[in-house]
Amino acid sequence: MRTLWPAALLALALVPAAGCSRTDNEPGPGGVTVSEAKALDDAADMLESRDGTADKQAKAEK
């Protein structure tokens, strides 16, 4: 019985933390879902990387 107390206390401490994670369907900032925000961030990163290579190519052509 004494060996179960530490495990039980640990389980009780971890239960509230399990409910803290967001799912991809929950609305995030700006009214978009978490997965939509991630997709927008990925698209912005892709566009920014394109802009950087276009500037380097334009400078190389001059």
In terms of pLDDT, which residue wins out, 38 or 23?
38
Residues of the chain with pLDDT > 90: what percent? 5
Its domain, for residue 52, covers 30-62
Q: Is residue 3 in some structural domain?
A: no
Q: Is residue 54 in some structural domain?
A: yes
Q: Is residue 43 in some structural domain?
A: yes
Q: Is residue 9 in some structural domain?
A: no
Cα distance between residue 37 and residue 43, in whole Å: 10
In terms of pLDDT, which residue wins out, 20 or 35?
35
Predicted TM-score of the model (pTM): 0.42
Mean pLDDT of the chain: 73
In the chain, how many domains are there?
A: 1
The single residue listed with the structure tokens 């900032």 is: 29
32-55 pLDDT tens trace: 888 888 899 999 988 888 766 555
Token reading at 2: 């004494």
Q: Is residue 34 in some structural domain?
A: yes
Helix, strand, coil percent values for the chain (each to nearest 5): 75, 5, 25
